[in-house]
Chains A and B, each alone.
Chain A
Amino acid sequence: MTVLMLTIFTVMVAISSQYPAGARFMTFVVGFPAIALCLLQLVLDVRDFRHEAARGAGGEMAAVPADVSGVPVDPSLQMQMQMNAAGLTVEHTPEAARKEMIVWGYIFGLIGSILLFGFYITVPIFLVVFLRFYAKARWPMAILLPAAVSAFLYVMLGYVFRMTLHIGFVTEYLLDRISG
Chain B
Amino acid sequence: MIEIMFSSLYAMLTSPSTMGLMLLAVFFGLIVGVTPGIGGRLSIALAIPFVFGMEMIPGAVFLLTMHAVNGTSGQISSILFGVPGDGDDAATTIDGYPMAKKGEAGRALGASITASGVGGIIGAIVFAIMIPVLEPIVLSFSPAEFFLLAVLGITFIAFLAGGNQIFKGIIVGLFGMMLATIGTDPYTATPRFAGDMLFLWDGISLVTAVLAMFAIPEMVALAIKGGSISAVSMETANFSYRQLFQGVLEVPRHWWLVLRTSIIGAIIGMVPGLGGSAAAWMCYGHAVQTSKHPERFGKGAVEGVIAPETASNAKEGGSLLPTLFFGIPGSSGMAVLMGAFLILGIQPGPAMLTTHLDVVWTLMWALIVGNLIAVGFLLFINRWVAMLTFVNATMLVPFILVLAVSGAYINEGQWQNLVVLLVISIVGYGLLRFNWPRAPFVIGLVLGRISEESLHKALGLWGWQFFTRPLSLVLIGLIVATIAFAIYRGRTPPPRYAEQMGVSS
Contact = CB atoms under 8 A, between A and B. Distances in A.
Interface of A: 1-2, 4-5, 8-9, 12, 15-16, 19-20, 22-23, 25-27, 29-31, 33-34, 37-38, 40-41, 44, 62-74, 76-77, 80-81, 84-85, 88-91, 96, 99-100, 103-104, 106-108, 110-111, 114-115, 119, 123, 126-127, 130-131, 134-135, 137, 146, 149, 153, 157, 161, 163-166
A30 B371 CA distance: 41
A34 to B, nearest CB: 4
B83 A80 contact: yes
Which 8 A-B pairs give the minimum distances between C-beta atoms?
A: A65-B497, A23-B190, A130-B398, A69-B285, A23-B185, A34-B174, A71-B298, A71-B297
Interface in B456-505: 456, 494-498, 500-501, 503-505
Contacts of A77: 82, 93-94, 97
Nearest to A9: B178
B383 interface: no
Contact of A27 (B178, B284, B433): B178
Given A37-B170, A69-B505, A90-B224, 11 more contacts: A65-B498, A68-B94, A70-B288, A74-B94, A81-B90, A84-B84, A103-B220, A103-B224, A126-B401, A149-B402, A166-B409
Given A37-B170, A62-B494, A114 B187 contact: no
A19 B187 CA distance: 12
B395 interface: yes
Nearest to A123: B402
A134 B226 CA distance: 10
B406 to A, nearest CB: 7
Contact of B418 (A12, A20, A69, A114): A114
A96 B171 CA distance: 27
A148 B37 CA distance: 22
Contact of B288 (A34, A69, A96): A69
Contacts of B98: 74
Interface size class of B (residues with CB under 8 A): 35 or more
B252 interface: no
Interface of B: 37, 50, 82-84, 86-87, 90-91, 93-94, 97-98, 164, 167-168, 170-172, 174-175, 177-178, 181, 185, 187-188, 190, 192-193, 216, 218-225, 281, 284-285, 288-289, 294, 297-298, 304, 392, 394-395, 397-399, 401-402, 405-406, 409-410, 413, 415, 418-419, 421-422, 425, 427, 430-436, 448, 452, 455-456, 494-498, 500-501, 503-505
A130 to B, nearest CB: 4
A123 B410 CA distance: 15
Nearest to B418: A111
B84 A70 contact: no
Contacts of A4: 427, 430
B260 to A, nearest CB: 15
B167 to A, nearest CB: 5
A15 B193 contact: yes
A156 B434 CA distance: 37
B168 A41 contact: yes
B415 A72 contact: no
B224 A1 contact: no
Nearest to B498: A68
Contacts of A100: 220, 224
A68 B464 CA distance: 49
A118 B464 CA distance: 52
30 contacts: A4-B427, A4-B430, A8-B175, A9-B178, A12-B178, A20-B190, A30-B181, A30-B448, A63-B494, A68-B94, A68-B285, A68-B501, A70-B294, A71-B297, A74-B94, A76-B82, A85-B87, A85-B90, A89-B435, A90-B433, A103-B397, A107-B216, A107-B422, A115-B415, A119-B409, A134-B394, A135-B394, A149-B402, A157-B410, A164-B413
A88 B222 contact: yes
B188 A20 contact: yes
Contacts of A12: 178, 193
Contact of B505 (A63, A70, A161): A70
A64 B497 contact: yes
Contacts of B432: 88-90
Given A68-B498, A69-B505, A123-B402, A96 B90 contact: no
Contacts of A149: 399, 402
B93 A81 contact: yes
A127 to B, nearest CB: 5
A164 to B, nearest CB: 7
B223 A103 contact: yes
Contacts of A38: 171
A26 B221 contact: no
B496 A5 contact: no
- Most chain B beta-carbon contacts within 10 A, residue among A15, A63, A64, A149: A63
Given A26-B452, A84-B90, A72 B413 contact: no
A149 B432 CA distance: 29
Nearest to A63: B494
A103 B86 CA distance: 25
B154 to A, nearest CB: 11
